[in-house]
Amino acid sequence: VRGFTTADFAKFHPGGALGKQLYLRVGELCALHDRPRVSPDSTLQEVILEISSKRLGATAVIDGAGQLHGIVTDGDLRRMLQRGADFNNLTAKHIMSPTPKTIGPDALAVDALALMRKHAITQLLVFENETYQGIVHLHDLVREGLV
Residue type, 4: F
Query: Cα(124)–Cα(26) distance, rounded to whole angstroms?
Result: 10
Residues 6+ apart with CB under 8 A from 5: none
Whether 74 is covered by a domain: the verdict is yes
Q: How many domains does the chain contain in total?
A: 1
pLDDT in tens, 104-123: 999 999 999 999 999 999 99
Cβ distance 24 to 144 under 8 Å?
Answer: yes
Query: Cα(54)–Cα(105) distance, rounded to whole angstroms?
Result: 19
Distances in whole angstroms, Cα of residue 16 to Cα of each of 8, 13, 26, 116: 12, 6, 17, 22
Query: Cα(92)–Cα(90) distance, rounded to whole angstroms?
Result: 7
Domain that holds residue 104: 25-143
Whether 52 is covered by a domain: the verdict is yes
Whether 1 is covered by a domain: the verdict is no
Cβ distance 38 to 61 under 8 Å?
Answer: yes
Whether 55 is covered by a domain: the verdict is yes
Binned at pLDDT 50, 70 and 90, residue 10 comes out as very low
Tell which wins on pLDDT, 11 or 123: 123
Binned at pLDDT 50, 70 and 90, residue 3 comes out as low
- What are residue 145's phi and psi, to 5 degrees? 80, 20
Distances in whole angstroms, Cα of residue 89 to Cα of each of 39, 60, 140: 15, 20, 34
Whether 62 is covered by a domain: the verdict is yes
pLDDT of 4:
47
Whether 83 is covered by a domain: the verdict is yes
pLDDT in tens, 14-72: 455 545 556 799 999 988 789 999 999 999 999 999 999 999 999 999 999 999 999 99
pLDDT of 91:
96
Whether 43 is covered by a domain: the verdict is yes
pLDDT in tens, 84-110: 878 888 999 999 999 999 999 999 999
Whether 120 is covered by a domain: the verdict is yes
Tell which wins on pLDDT, 48 or 8: 48
Report the CATH number at residue 52.
Answer: 3.10.580.10
